[in-house]
Structure 1
């Protein structure tokens, strides 16, 4: 089967998978590609990894368009995603209404599962929050860092720790079996990121890539986007 190839932030993986059958019925094409830290995916495109479209942060898409790697006229917003807290499904949910609450939640965890703190949107934000709360050094030995949020959440689901917690994009939490969305980060620690799609300038299948973007962003798919963790 011919496929449309994607390079995407992990935040969009659940939504893309959920629409793959509808896309196949519409175009006859399958969907393939890589999902991971947005910085890594952008660098893969720069290194000429074959891709028909990318789904990354709005800021990164703008840069890639300036670099003439993405067609500006094809760019469309998919939706906003918050960085949130996660627990294993069998564990009690945690509540962090203030920065002080969050500090105590993180201090009380014996393992903290997060994505790449240098290349991923959520991971970079977690590192900033730990600094802001003044506990980066205190919890450093408990950080469990993985290449992307999806991997971090799978590892959290399988964790043998007594009091583990995770922090990544809400969409990655929702898409992971054995994990529950525990709540938003409190004011002053929150992050909401707009994810945006665009057809690459070297696309082998630009028309089909545009059709997939239309499917991902269409008004008739709003409810599906919301179930996956995207907001307007």
Structure 2
């Protein structure tokens, strides 16, 4: 089957999967590509990896349009995603209302599962928050860092630690079996990221890629976006 090739942040994986049948019905095309840390996905496009569509942060899409790698007129916001805390489904949820609460939760965890702290949106934010809370050095040995949030959450689900916790984007938490979205990050530590889609300048199938953008952002898919963790 011919496919629309995408390079996407992991935050959009659950949404894209939920639209596979709809795209096939509309265009006859399937979906293929890669999901991962947004910085790495942008660099893959810059390096010439074939792609018809990218779904990355709003800021990265603006950069790629400036670099003439994405068609500016095609850029459309998909929705906002919170960075949040996750626990294994069998563990009690954590209560986090303040920075002090978050500091205590992270200090008491014996394993902290996070995505790439240099290339992923959520991972970069976790590193920033740990410094802000003054506990980066204290918890460094307990950080379990993985290439992207989806992998980090799968590892959390299988963790044998006594009190593990995870932190990544809500969409990646919701999409992972065996874990639960436990709490949003408190005021002063929160992060809400706008994800945006755009057809690439070298797209082999620009019409079909535009059809996928329409599905991703259409008003009739609002319930699906909310269910997988997006908010407008």
TM-score (norm 1): 1.00
The 5 A counterparts of 1:148-227 are 148-227=148-227
Q: Distance in 2 between matches of 1:153 and 1:18?
A: 19
Q: Distance in 1 between matches of 2:58 and 2:136?
A: 28
Q: Distance in 1 between matches of 2:90 and 2:204?
A: 45
Q: Distance in 1 between matches of 2:201 and 2:155?
A: 36
The 5 A counterparts of 1:102-181 are 102-181=102-181
Q: CA RMSD in A?
A: 0.3
The 5 A counterparts of 1:32-43 are 32-43=32-43
How many residue pairs match? The answer is 232
The reply on whether 1:17 has 2:17 as its aligned counterpart is: yes
Q: Could you tell me how far 1:65 is from its partner in structure 2?
A: 0.0
The reply on whether 1:72 has 2:58 as its aligned counterpart is: no
Corresponding residue number in structure 1 for 2:92 = 92
Q: Distance in 2 between matches of 1:22 and 1:179?
A: 28
Q: Distance in 2 between matches of 1:57 and 1:100?
A: 29
Q: Could you tell me how far 1:26 is from its partner in structure 2?
A: 1.0
Q: Distance in 2 between matches of 1:197 and 1:223?
A: 18
Q: Distance in 2 between matches of 1:185 and 1:231?
A: 16
Describe the superposition over 1:111-148 as per-residue Cα deviations: whole angstroms up to 9, x where unpaired: 00000000000000000000000000000000000000
Q: Distance in 2 between matches of 1:27 and 1:95?
A: 46
Q: Distance in 1 between matches of 2:66 and 2:22?
A: 32
Gap runs ≥5 in structure 2: none
Describe the superposition over 1:2-32 as per-residue Cα deviations: whole angstroms up to 9, x where unpaired: 0000000000000000110111111100000
User: Any idea what SS the aligned residue of 1:222 has?
Assistant: helix
Q: Distance in 2 between matches of 1:228 and 1:72?
A: 27
